[in-house]
Amino acid sequence: MSEDIPRGSRFLHSDDPFDFHLGGTLARISLAYETWGELNSARDNGVMILTGLSPSAHAARHPENNEDGWWEPMVGPGKPIDTNRFFVICINSLGSCKGSTGPASINPESGKPWRLEFPQVTVQDIASSATRVIDHLGIDQLLAVVGPSLGGMSGLAWLQQNPGRARHFLSISTAAAAEPFAIAIRSLQRECIVSDRLWLDGKYSDDERPATGMRLARKLGMLSYRSPQEMTQRFGRREEVMFEHYRFGMDFAIESYLERAAVKFVGGFDPCCYLYLSYALDLFDASEGYDSLEEAVAPIVLDSKMVIGVKTDILWPLHQQSQLANAFKANGVKTEFLTLDSIQGHDSFLVDYDRFLPAVDAYLKTIK
C-alpha cells in the first residue's frame, strides 16, 4: 500500500517489539512522521499533532514536499501552529495506510499484507507508538499536544500514558469516548464495507477492492462529518446531474457532492485500515478502569488545556466537549472551552478557517 504515502515523509523504524493494548505483538513497527521548524536547544518547543482517522502525517508543506498538507492554513511560519516558534511533529497513526505500520503493511513472515492478521489497533496503541517518535527525537517534554477528532482521543490517551510529558493540550472536536449515535454510524459504515462481495473476509485484491462498500461508507461518513445546515445553505434542493442519473437518484446537487467525495476516498484509503481505525474510535473510553472521567484524567499535569468544539458537530456533540473540559477543570487544570458557530459540522476544523485560525492562534499565543 504505497499509493498515498506522502513524499518526503520521515520514518522511524523501531525494532523494539510492540505490544498491542488488546493483545498481539509485532517484532517491529514503522512510524511515518513529518516535522516543521527547529527543535530549540532546550528541546522544549515541541508540538505534537495527532490526526483524525484518514489524514497522513503531511499536515503542511515543507522543503521535501511542497504539496498542500491536510492542515495547510494552520501549520507554517507565522501561522497559528507557528513553525517559527514551534518544532512541529505530525505522526501518521499506527494502523493507517499512509506510511505507518498497519493492516495494509507487508507481514514479513508471509510477504503479503497483514490484513485481518494484524492485531486490533486501539487509540492507546496509536498513543504509545507516537511516544517512540517523541523519544527518538530526544524530547523529554512537549510544549503542546494538538489533536483534532481521533487525534484528540489519541492525544488524551497519550497524556494518560505520559501524564507530565506535555505542558499544554489543545483538543478539537473530539471526546473521551464515543456516544451511541457515533458508534451506530461507524458500525454501519463498517458493515457497508464487509457486506461488499469484494471484501472477501479481508482477502480482497488490491486491483479489485470493496469499492462499493467503501463508497457507501464514505457517503455515510460525509453525512456525519458535515451538517444539515451547511447542506441546506450550499445545496438546497438544487438539481445537478454530474454523475450518471439512475432510476432512483443522482438528481440533486447534494448527491453529486457525496459522490465526488466518495470517488476520491475509494482510491485513497485501504479498506482494512479504515475498518481498524474506525473500530478503534468506538472501542476507546478514556474512563475505562476508572469511576469517572475526572478520575481518569486526574494524573495528567498540564499548564493549560483548551477544548474547542463546534455547535453543528453531530458526531462529537458539544456536550461531549463540555464533559472533557469539565473533567480537566475539576482537577484544577486551567481550562478554556470554546464553542464555535461553524456550520460545517465535525469537519469545520478543516474548512472553517475563518473561525479556526484565530481561535487556535489566540490560544497558542498564550503558551510558552
Annotated catalytic residues are 149, 313, 346
Shortest distance (Å) from residue 316 CB to a copy of itself: 11
Of these, 187, 322, 323, 326, which contacts a copy of itself (CB under 8 A)? 187
Query: Residue 236 to residues 100, 223, 255, 262, 342: CA-CA distances in angstroms?
Result: 40, 15, 11, 20, 18
Crossing angle of the two packed helices 271-283 and 123-136, in degrees rounded to 10: 100
**Should residue 194 be labelled a site residue for a copy of itself when binding is judged by CB under 8 A?**
yes
**3-state class (DSSP) for residue 220:** helix
Q: Which stretch binds a copy of itself (CB under 8 A): 49-57, 275-283, 293-301, 333-341?
A: 275-283
Determine, following the binding rule CB under 8 A, whether residue 197 of this chain makes contact with a copy of itself. yes
Contact 81, 74 (CB under 8 A): yes
Residue 23: how many other CB atoms lie within 10 Å? 8
242 binds a copy of itself (CB under 8 A): no
Residue type, 302: L
What string of DSSP letters covers 304-367?
EEEEEEETT-SSS-HHHHHHHHHHHHHTT--EEEEEE--SSGGGHHHH-HHHHHHHHHHHHHT-
Position 258 contacts a copy of itself (CB under 8 A): yes
The residue from 44, 282, 294, 295 that contacts a copy of itself (CB under 8 A) is: 282
Tell me which of 220, 306, 324, 364 binds a copy of itself, using CB under 8 A. 220
Is 103 a binding residue for a copy of itself by CB under 8 A? The answer is: no
Point out which span in 42-50, 56-64, 141-149, 212-220 binds a copy of itself (CB under 8 A): 212-220
**CA dist., res. 119 & res. 122, Å (int):** 9
Distance of CA 137 to the CA centre of its chain: 22
* Nearest distance from C-beta of residue 146 to a copy of itself, angstroms: 26
Q: Does 191 bind a copy of itself (CB under 8 A)?
A: yes
- Per CB under 8 A, residues contacting a copy of itself are 116, 177-181, 183-185, 187-188, 190-192, 194-195, 197, 212, 216, 219-220, 223, 227-228, 231-232, 234-237, 246-255, 258, 275-276, 278-279, 282-283, 285, 314, 317
